[in-house]
Amino acid sequence: MPSNRLALYSQRMAAVTLIFVAAMMIINAVIWLFPDIESEYGLGFSLSRRMLSSLSEDAMSMTGWQSLGAILLSSIPLLALAAGLVNLRQLFNRYAQGQYFSSEAANLLGKAGRAVALWVFLDFLCEPLLSLWVTMNAPAGQHILSISITAPSFVALFIAGCIAIIARILSQASEVESENRTFV
């Protein structure tokens, strides 16, 4: 594939990544404000989707401050994922400029991998807090404390590990390339 074509694809991926980050955060907020959208269209991201699908109709009628708190709590893991995607976007921008074997590129890829792992960890930590938060006004006996470990979480951790190893390999490759340049 010619390098100008690769640069074009990298630029497009950088733009798509930025759009995805914005859409992810907006959709997460919207489904807490209008929970029917999640059930009707299936929109949502891991934690919010699990929580909204487990709530009864009574629990879904939250007060405004409860909805705001739910948006904030469910956004914490997404902010970690967004940070990883921003690093990935910067990596695509570097690739678009032809910087394939640089220590900065390897560092950005490593940060993206760590952000995915942090996303899974924060998703696990925030779920019990969010479940207590959204059911705090429920009648006695209807409060929920939810904790879950899902198969997609294990897949995300595996991918994060793979990305971290690939980042280390790229870092080593950039060092070898740098050494080779000094000998030539």
Give 173: exposed, middle or buried? Use CB within 10 Å, 0-12, 13-18, 19+: middle
Task: Give the count of domains, the chain.
Answer: 1
* Separation in Å, CA 107 to CA 66, 119, 147, 161, 167: 39, 18, 33, 14, 7
Q: Is 59 helix (H, G, I), strand (E, B) or coil?
A: coil
Share of the chain above pLDDT 90, in %: 55
Q: Which range of residues forms the domain containing residue 7?
A: 3-183
67 or 114: which leads in pLDDT = 114
Which pLDDT score, from 0 to 100, does residue 158 have? 97
Average of per-residue pLDDT values in the chain: 88
| Of the candidates 17, 19, 3, the residue with the CA atom closest to the CA atom of residue 91 | 17
Tens digit of each residue's pLDDT (9 = 90 or more) over 39-94: 777 777 778 888 887 776 655 677 889 989 999 999 999 999 999 999 999 999 99
How many CB atoms lie under 10 A from the CB of residue 82?
19
The C-alpha atoms of residue 142 and residue 138 are separated, in whole angstroms, by 6
Please give the distance of CA 179 from its chain centroid, rounded to a whole number.
36
* Stated pTM of the model: 0.86
Least trusted range by pLDDT, from 47-56, 91-100, 120-129? 47-56
Taking residues 14-39, report their average pLDDT.
90
Q: Which residues of 23-61 are buried (b: 16+ CB within 10 A; e: fewer)?
A: ebbebbbebbeebebbeeeebbbbbbbbbbeebeeebee
